[in-house]
Amino acid sequence: MSLEEEILVELRKIRGLLEPKPKPQLLEKPKGLLNEFKDFISKYKVMGLAVAFILGLYLGELVKAMVNDLIMPLISISLSGTQWEEITLGPFRIGHFTGALLTFLIVAFVIFLLVKMTSRLGIE
């Protein structure tokens, strides 16, 4: 083989390595409605999402109860007998908004701590 032929062979090898590979065929769709449903449940992790949603609802209710039943009564004591939900500024219900804001901040902080803790454990 001449030098030019060897160079051409090497160039063809390099071109073959540089050409994009064809995409692998997508997995076949499962046959039947029940199998498609099972594939949907596992592919989109619906059960984990449902559990997280339900736990989030109850966490929100728990924090709301803590704010309404424990934290805000302490604030009411410092306001000399005024109910915190009745605090208004003109037509605005400042007291009720403050309770909702505290609830949100506590829930957001708890979720932040959970995400931070699970990321340290390597859970995504």
- More confident call, 77 vs 116: 116
Q: What is the model's pTM? A: 0.55
- Is there a contact between 95 and 85 (Cβ–Cβ < 8 Å)? yes
Q: What is the dihedral of CA 80, 83, 89, 91, to 10 degrees?
A: -160
pLDDT at 25: 57
pLDDT digits (tens, 9 = 90+) for 36-55: 888 888 888 888 888 889 98
Q: How confident is the model at residue 27 (pLDDT cuts 50, 70, 90)?
A: low
Percent of the chain with pLDDT over 90: 4
